[in-house]
A and B are shown apart, each in its own frame.
Chain A
């Protein structure tokens, strides 16, 4: 599946919910299914700045595709990072670099999250793309 297709899948899932509670409950569920980062990668270098809760993301190249693992001490944050990883993981770095992220608006995340969180979300996307850029150089 391409990033675009995965994004569409997430959008359709979120469209099923009638209110914020269902949406958040689903995010919490997603948080629980997050591919967890190996404890040894929970370092300050992998910590994403700009979040009120702590979020770590690690990236690893598998063939020519990038796989992400992550964790957070807050469960809603975990849900958000899980959505991002579901969309961006197992893709070629160049796809990740070029990916459009407007699906965040479409699932009502950016609009409904507090400003500090919204910033955290922006930081998370930025971090995933930074990893992609770094590994893209390696592939070249």
Chain B
């Protein structure tokens, strides 16, 4: 084992005990889970929060006069405050619960239909996930606005100077992920936000891939919107948040109509509820929201700095080891990236490698990672993507490297 590992005080073995799933076997081998960028695993405290909710205070929130409803409301709103503090939003009602990142993006994209006219421009980055491209294309079709793309270079980094050229007085919205899901590139969102604001454009940052690794401060970033999913950061699936600056959330029209989001209703006119309820029609994922709060508590207890540091060591170790394999090509070698390695082996299909790794109990993702434009840029059908989390170990990475070597031997 390398020197650097011994220097780490991070107790990964202790942390792994919090994740029961890591003990299971797959195809006769201990599971080595490297698909964390798709979804992270769930620690016991988060599962406990879910069981506690359904065991003790399952009730609909906000309208009940009975004790259970009050308790559920307190816990749900308590989770909103935890999330507000985590992302350092100025106000709790700037945190809108959603079903996940995609929902948050659609909510904003849909609302912007009200402000856009023909010829207005929307800028997205070349590194976007499909969920970050399609809603804006739909919006462009509806409004006649034009979609512009910030190009990337061969390292998988956005070309900032090109972005500067794209920004002009017609730019109304800029859309960029904080971290690329396909390559792990950390984008220079501070600069992008500042530049976009200089022409009065709003900026939506997709934080889905950043939030598990980087604690974003939405006020310091001056982001207008920031969206995340809980399931990528130790929380349950089907819940996430949209952070929006109060002034923007007040201007945006409601996305869905229904209960919870109204102030008064009659057949002549309905008036909408204030923030955050205006955007939270219907009974929300109450348990999910509370469990998301528990997930943030769990990760903060470990510490995001510690998590980032350990994951960076994993990344360096895996990159070095994988590069020793002949024919290895790593896509995305940005100076700043999270613990994601997207790769191919010359002459082999990523799907074959992924299938054989699975037979060895190693979970990776193969394919285009919902980022076809990124794959087109590199002129490849897809990659094998290994994405690490703070509960992965150096031994598991050794298994990944050996597994890739074995797959290569079998396939060639």
Contacts and interface: CB of A to CB of B under 8 A. Distances in A.
B351 interface: yes
A76 interface: yes
Contacts of B56: none
Interface string B40-72: 000000000000000000000000000000000
A61 B329 CA distance: 43
Question: Interface range on chain A: under 10, 10 to 19, 20 to 34, or 35 or more?
Answer: 10 to 19
A75 B349 CA distance: 8
Contact of B351 (A20, A21, A24, A53): A53
Interface in B275-328: none
B102 interface: no
A30 interface: no
A78 to B, nearest CB: 9
B27 A74 contact: no
Contacts of B356: 24, 76
B83 to A, nearest CB: 33
Interface in A97-114: 112-114
Interface in A116-139: 117
Interface residues of B, number: 15
Contact of B410 (A24, A54, A113, A117): A24
Interface string A47-91: 000001110000000000000000001111100000000000000
A28 B411 contact: yes
B355 interface: yes
Contacts of A53: 349, 351-352, 381
A77 B349 CA distance: 10
Contacts of A117: 355
Interface in B388-412: 410-411
Contacts of B367: 52
A117 B27 CA distance: 16
A25 interface: yes
Contacts of B355: 76, 113-114, 117
| B27, B352, B356, B410 pick with most chain A CB within 10 angstroms | B352
Nearest to A53: B351
Contacts of B366: 52
B359 A76 contact: no
A75 B27 contact: no
A119 to B, nearest CB: 13
A28 B351 CA distance: 13
A13 to B, nearest CB: 18
B351 A112 contact: no
A53 B356 CA distance: 14
A25 B409 CA distance: 10
Nearest to B28: A20
A21 B411 CA distance: 11
Contacts of A113: 355
Interface string B351-366: 1100110110000001
Q: Which of B355, B356, B366, B367 has the most CB of A within 10 A?
A: B355
B410 A73 contact: no
Given A20-B27, A75-B411, A114 B358 contact: yes
A30 B348 CA distance: 17
Interface string A1-44: 00000000000000000001100110010000000000000000
Given A24-B410, A28-B410, A52-B351, A73 B381 contact: yes
Given A21-B410, A25-B410, A28-B411, A77 B359 contact: no
A51 B348 CA distance: 17
A54 B355 CA distance: 15
Contacts of B410: 21, 24-25, 28
Contacts of B381: 53-54, 73
A77 B351 contact: yes
A80 B381 CA distance: 20
Contacts of A75: 348-349, 352, 411
A51 B358 CA distance: 17
Please list the 5 inter-chain residue pairs (A to B) with the smallest Cβ-Cβ separation, ordered nearest first.
Answer: A74-B349, A74-B351, A53-B351, A76-B352, A74-B352
19 contacts: A20-B27, A21-B359, A24-B410, A25-B410, A28-B410, A52-B351, A52-B366, A53-B349, A53-B351, A74-B349, A74-B351, A74-B352, A75-B352, A75-B411, A76-B351, A77-B351, A77-B352, A112-B359, A114-B358
Given A52-B367, A77-B351, A117-B355, 8 more contacts: A21-B359, A24-B359, A25-B410, A73-B349, A75-B349, A75-B411, A112-B27, A114-B355
